Amino acid sequence: MVLRVISEPKDKAKGEFDMPSALDLRIDAVTAAMTAEGGPAALTTYRKYGRDLPMIAGAPATLPAYFDQFCAAYAEREFIVAGEERLTFAQVHAASRQVAQALVSGWGVQKGDRVGIAMRNAPGWIVLYMGILMAGGCATLLNGWWQGHELAAGIETVEAKLIFADPQRAARIAESGQDSTARIVTLDISLPLAEAIAPVLAAGGPDAALPDLTGDDLATILFTSGSTGLAKGAVSNHRQVVQGTYSYIVQTMMMLQIAMQEGMVGANPPLPCMLFSVPLFHVTGEVPMMLVSFAIGRKLVMMPKWDVVEAMRLIEKEKITSFTGVPLMSFELVSHPDRHKYDLSTLQGLLGGGAPRPVEHVKRIMEEMPSAPPGLGYGLTETNGVGAGNFMSNYLEKPNSTGRASAPLVEIAILDDAGQPVPQGERGEICIRTVAVFNGYWNNPEASAACMTEDGFFRTGDIGYLDADNYVFIVDRKKDIIIRGGENISCQEVEAALYEHSAVAEACVFGLPDERFGELVGAVVSLHPGQSVDPAELIAFTKPRLPVFAPPHRVWIAQGALPRLGTEKIDKVGLRKLYQAEYAKETGAAA
């Protein structure tokens, strides 16, 4: 293996290493050994975009094959804990196969049919996901936080055939008043698994033959909202989802091996167990949390709603080893005054995504819980969650960075608008190339073409740079979106909701910095002459018109028209700077 030696002088103030860190060298060495011929994650290639992309050779070709392999390997091990219900891998797999056979024989699901899930996290969600894929369907993961009209629009966008919804989501769809060509089936997932899926099984028999699938068959559609606010269905095939999952598996195996070498875990580490509080319809919940758990035999302890005291209780009771959530959640664990009343010693890592961690939080977590170091991941729905990661001592050295490209499958480049690389250290658009990148947006060839370069890089819409050690730093956003706790919020969509109010003449929406969620929604509006309205009234007005995470957190009423640029566009940059500073004064936060 050739090690990269950096000779340029480094700026310690920017957190730059004098050379690749000792941990980076070990990561590179362990990863190289794992992916070499004969290694547990040996590489092959997949030809696309006129080049050979690295791919894990031993990965199953499809998700059903992946489920079969690992549910058999860990058959009697506990897989899902939800309240009082405890299910093994074998039980979950058997239930999923029953669902798949019923979908084929009783519900008429054929290969490629879009079958949606619109429900909160529950064992039934996972079983339906697996069953849809085993039946050859395309698992369509509807955002459970959407309002009814958004759910209906997502269903129509991808021409879904069948939707399984919990009572809350089903009611929202019905209340939207929008006709749907999809059949909506309501399932009470608060019941034990067998009762929850009984209506699905009642329609079909156990003897249906399941289809043969390949890596090229459609697997999933997840929804992502860009600057226009129109939800786009991001389509991935089985190869892309499986390889994205294996990218995380390699990272997990590599970090475990290093932790064992460092004595952070013993030769016989405890069985992996994850506290699960991220929505399954998110790519983070789907791929690195749920799907990776099959391969490593990890137990998932479901937590319907975040509560730090309940989290500590579950960590102690279930011997949780890992936790992933919005970064401030892990900080709440560390800083809670009752933390020492609970045994949290089984924790081995506190991972985060969807928002940056304040530097002081990184240091505090490392000091308070050295056996459970923090980590940060960066990926997108369109990349099946893979991108970059920053771990352990490297995270402490470069806490403002989202880390290096995830070896061995991911390549990150900083490109200009023409798709050409910019000089090292200069800003451009962060772009990701990997075999795990999605196929495109459902029935939207223009958006699909716009987000990809000819040589296979996905344009993330994030502006950043690579330092001399090839660490990614995100500095701005190209798209007009706000990212609140991992949820993309279209500024245009929030502005459109404000404009529906009869008193609003002009609206400008932007992000406000927030420690917990990364960003919150801020807005400034000007009113029509003679009109008056209270900011709280405007916020309340938008709530039924937007997803639950999207209404403004703070609204300012401007005196007179909003300032404009020479192009006659509202000066969003100037307004954002002005009101972020105003918000910082109000809250004591950093602008």
Residue 13 has pLDDT above 50, yes or no: no
CA 173: distance to chain centroid?
24
Rounded CA-CA distance 60/70 in Å is 10
Residues 6+ apart with CB under 8 A from 84: none
Dihedrals phi, psi of 584, to nearest 5 degrees: -60, -40
The DSSP bridge pattern shows strands 404-405 and 428-433 to be unpaired
Count the alpha carbons within 13 Å of 238 in the hemisphere toward its beta carbon.
24
Residue 489 has pLDDT above 50, yes or no: yes
How many other CB atoms are there within 10 angstroms of residue 516's CB atom?
14
Rounded CA-CA distance 76/86 in Å is 11
Confidence band of 11 (pLDDT split at 50, 70, 90): very low
Cβ atoms of 570 and 509 within 8 Å: the answer is: no
Q: What mean pLDDT is predicted for residues 468-490?
A: 87
Examine residue 408 and say whether the peptide bond preceding it is cis (omega within 30 degrees of 0).
yes
Residue 378 has pLDDT above 90, yes or no: yes
Helix (H, G, I), strand (E, B) or coil at 376: strand
Q: What mean pLDDT is predicted for residues 343-372?
A: 82
What was the pLDDT predicted at 467?
Answer: 95
Helix (H) or strand (E) holding 586: helix 572-587
Q: What mean pLDDT is predicted for residues 363-378?
A: 85
Of the candidates 365, 265, 284, 364, the residue with the CA atom closest to the CA atom of residue 324: 284
Residues 6+ apart with CB under 8 A from 336: 308, 309, 312
What the block records as the tokens of 498 is 């404000």
Helix axes 327-335, 308-318, angle to 10 degrees: 80
Residue 414 has pLDDT above 70, yes or no: yes
What was the pLDDT predicted at 330?
Answer: 83
Helix (H, G, I), strand (E, B) or coil at 390: strand
Give residue-wise pLDDT tens across range 547-585: 999 999 999 999 988 998 755 678 888 899 999 999 999
What was the pLDDT predicted at 286?
Answer: 97
More confident residue, 58 or 265: 58
Q: What pairs with residue 352 in β-bridges?
A: 325, 376
How many other CB atoms are there within 10 angstroms of residue 514's CB atom?
18
Rounded CA-CA distance 322/292 in Å is 13
What was the pLDDT predicted at 1?
Answer: 20
Helix (H, G, I), strand (E, B) or coil at 200: helix
Cα torsion angle, 49, 51, 54, 59, sign: positive
What was the pLDDT predicted at 244?
Answer: 98
Residue 246 has pLDDT above 70, yes or no: yes
Of the candidates 411, 288, 268, the residue with the CA atom closest to the CA atom of residue 349: 288
Cβ atoms of 365 and 329 within 8 Å: the answer is: no
Burial of residue 129 (CB within 10 Å: 0-12, 13-18, 19+) is buried
pLDDT over 90 percentage in the chain: 71
What was the pLDDT predicted at 413?
Answer: 98
Rounded CA-CA distance 312/338 in Å is 9
DSSP code of 452? B
Which one-letter amino acid corresponds to residue 210? L
Confidence band of 261 (pLDDT split at 50, 70, 90): confident
What was the pLDDT predicted at 19?
Answer: 64
Q: What mean pLDDT is predicted for residues 59-80?
A: 98
Rounded CA-CA distance 74/255 in Å is 21
Sheet strands side by side (includes 273-276): 85-88, 78-82, 299-302, 273-276, 322-325, 349-352, 374-379, 387-391, 404-405
Residue 6 has pLDDT above 50, yes or no: no
Give residue-wise pLDDT tens across range 93-103: 999 999 999 99
Helices (H) and strands (E) in the chain, counts: 19, 27
Of the candidates 506, 554, 551, the residue with the CA atom closest to the CA atom of residue 531: 506
Plot region of 298 (φ>0 → left; ψ -120 to 50 → alpha; else → beta)? beta
What are the C-alpha distances in Å from 266 to residues 93, 156, 259, 346? 31, 52, 9, 12
Which one-letter amino acid corresponds to residue 359? V
Dihedrals phi, psi of 251, to nearest 5 degrees: -60, -40
Q: What pairs with residue 374 in β-bridges?
A: 350
Cβ atoms of 102 and 96 within 8 Å: the answer is: no
Rounded CA-CA distance 72/88 in Å is 11
Give residue-wise pLDDT tens across range 302-339: 998 889 999 999 999 999 999 888 777 888 888 899 99
Rounded CA-CA distance 525/124 in Å is 44
Whether pTM exceeds 0.85: yes
Helix (H) or strand (E) holding 450: helix 445-450
Cβ atoms of 531 and 503 within 8 Å: the answer is: yes
Give residue-wise pLDDT tens across range 216-242: 999 999 998 765 667 899 999 999 999
What the block records as the tokens of 165 is 């919804």
More confident residue, 429 or 361: 429
Q: How many residues appear in the chain?
A: 591
Cβ atoms of 240 and 384 within 8 Å: the answer is: yes
What's the mean per-residue pLDDT of the chain? 90
Give residue-wise pLDDT tens across range 506-562: 999 999 999 888 899 999 999 988 999 999 999 999 999 999 999 999 999 999 889
Give residue-wise pLDDT tens across range 283-309: 999 999 999 999 999 999 999 888 999
What was the pLDDT predicted at 221?
Answer: 98
Dihedrals phi, psi of 462, to nearest 5 degrees: -95, 140
How many other CB atoms are there within 10 angstroms of residue 586's CB atom?
10
Give residue-wise pLDDT tens across range 118-151: 999 999 999 999 999 999 999 999 999 999 999 9
Of the candidates 215, 271, 273, 223, the residue with the CA atom closest to the CA atom of residue 246: 215
Cα torsion angle, 486, 488, 491, 496, sign: negative
Confidence band of 152 (pLDDT split at 50, 70, 90): very high
How many other CB atoms are there within 10 angstroms of residue 9's CB atom?
9
Rounded CA-CA distance 480/476 in Å is 10
Per-residue b or e along 337-347, where b marks 16 or more CB atoms closer than 10 Å to that residue's CB: eebeebebebb
Q: What pairs with residue 375 in β-bridges?
A: 351, 391
